[in-house]
């Protein structure tokens, strides 16, 4: 219930560089326009000085994992989890094990040098490594997480990539029967199948295509009171 957020993240930056993703509205992060406004305030040194407070949450890792593992899967599946030596390696393997998956770990130890490949689920080198591991281990699915763990790439049981916009459509199809008359927001790069999908249409669900970009999609989801938003880059 905090009034503002500041996430230290460097998912798209080269090793040695980091960044901060900020937001002052619950569930939202700054848009480019707001970042320009913030830049202007900093450069002109026009700060408002007021008292504030902060609270350190102890045991955050355990709190986060517990929140993600309340529900278990009924069907046992074998999963290859690739983290590219990024921060998802702290969470993803443990979360998937605790919900009932058999996990094959691939580059899940932390190493800021990223010795194997760029931790990016759109990077072919990472996708090829996951595909190889899926086939070698006869796994049901492969997941590849980006450096800060907020995007995912999916490889099917034959070693082929399922594009993230199609994964979004699968999620929407699963949600639609339980949430009729809902809205979904997708970026303009996403597949046109959302518009014509029979499951979504049968459940009177509407798809809104919007500007590409994490902050843009989150804001549109909030404005439209949509059930979910999906980006082709792998943000869900």
Q: Kind and range of the H or E element at 62? A: helix 60-68
Dihedral Cα 62, 66, 67, 71, nearest 10 deg: 160
Q: Name the catalytic one among 11, 164, 182, 215.
A: 11
Q: How far apart are CA 24 and CA 52, in angstroms?
A: 14
Q: How far apart are CA 236 and CA 224, in angstroms?
A: 16
Catalytic site residue 11? yes
For the chain, give the number of residues. Answer: 236
Residue found under tokens 């049901």: 140
Q: Kind and range of the H or E element at 172? A: helix 164-175
Residue found under tokens 């480019």: 32
Q: Are strands 161-162 and 228-230 parallel, antiparallel or unpaired?
A: unpaired
85 to 90, 193, 216: CA distances (angstroms):
9, 34, 28
The single-letter DSSP state of residue 14 is: P
Classify residue 45 as left (phi > 0), alpha (psi -120 to 50) or beta: left
The single-letter DSSP state of residue 99 is: T
Which residues does the annotation mark as catalytic?
11
């Amino acid at each position: 219930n905090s009034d503002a957020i500041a996430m230290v993240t460097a998912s798209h930056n080269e090793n040695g560089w980091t960044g901060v993703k900020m937001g002052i509205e619950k569930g939202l992060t700054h848009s480019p326009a707001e970042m320009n406004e913030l830049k202007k305030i900093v450069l002109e040194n026009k700060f408002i000085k007021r008292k504030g407070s902060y609270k350190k949450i102890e045991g955050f890792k355990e709190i986060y994992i517990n929140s993600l593992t309340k529900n278990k899967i009924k069907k046992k599946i074998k999963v290859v989890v690739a983290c590219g030596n990024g921060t998802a390696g702290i969470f993803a393997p443990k979360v998937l094990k605790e919900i009932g998956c058999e996990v094959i770990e691939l580059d899940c130890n932390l190493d800021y040098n990223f010795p194997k490949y760029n931790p990016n689920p759109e990077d072919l080198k990472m996708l090829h490594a996951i595909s190889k591991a899926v086939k070698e281990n006869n796994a049901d699915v492969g997941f590849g997480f980006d450096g800060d763990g907020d995007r995912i790439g999916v490889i099917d049981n034959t070693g082929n990539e399922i594009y993230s916009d199609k994964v979004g459509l699968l999620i929407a199809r699963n949600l639609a029967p339980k949430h009729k008359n809902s809205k979904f927001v997708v970026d303009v790069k996403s597949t046109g199948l959302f518009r014509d999908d029979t499951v979504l249409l049968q459940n009177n669900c509407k798809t809104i295509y919007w500007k590409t970009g994490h902050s843009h999609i989150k804001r549109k989801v909030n404005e439209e009171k949509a059930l979910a938003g999906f980006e082709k880059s792998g943000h869900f």
